[in-house]
Amino acid sequence: MARLSQVDLNEKALSKDAISQTFSWPIRVYYEDTDSGGVVYHANYLNFMERARTEWLRALGFEQPMLKTELGIIFVVHSMNITFKSPAFFNDMLEIKSQRIKLGFGSMEFLQTIIRNQQVLLEATVKLACVDTINFKPVGIPTVVKNKLLNNE
């Protein structure tokens, strides 16, 4: 997993972007996840990371349908930067680690890593935007959600 340098940590502290605890979610690679070469098809890693972020929200007490119906918001992927380091194969047990590294007014950023037996297979920085469910326009993260994010560190 990529390490944040002390300079990075200081910059984040100065900008009041909290470094949160890492959330981990296990995923097994199924045959349907692989391509004709026998390795995980590259787009399926996006699904694995999405599942981990969904489970992270669930662990915080927020089901995605509840965010939509009760708070009128959803989180959408704004941008993503991925480095593929090594392939995963059928039947591998993977660990998806998600660490929130930034929390803004209407967005948050994650460092996500996919690991097999302590070997990093993929690193990604994922920025999520909070949007309203009517117009899909950016909005602030609701206070109840933001408070839970900040108090869970």
Told to judge if 17 belongs to the known catalytic residues of this protein, a careful annotator would answer: no
Q: What is the DSSP letter of 47?
A: H
How do beta strands 107-116 and 93-103 pair? antiparallel
Place of tokens 């694995």: 48
Query: Can you give the residue ranges of every domain in the chain?
Result: 6-151
**What CATH number matches the domain at 6-151, 3.40.640.10, 3.90.1170.50, 3.10.129.10, 3.40.50.720?**
3.10.129.10
- pLDDT tens column, 124-134: 999 999 999 99
Model pTM score? 0.83
- pLDDT tens column, 42-76: 999 999 999 999 999 999 999 999 999 999 999 99
Catalytic pick among 17, 33, 35, 132: 35
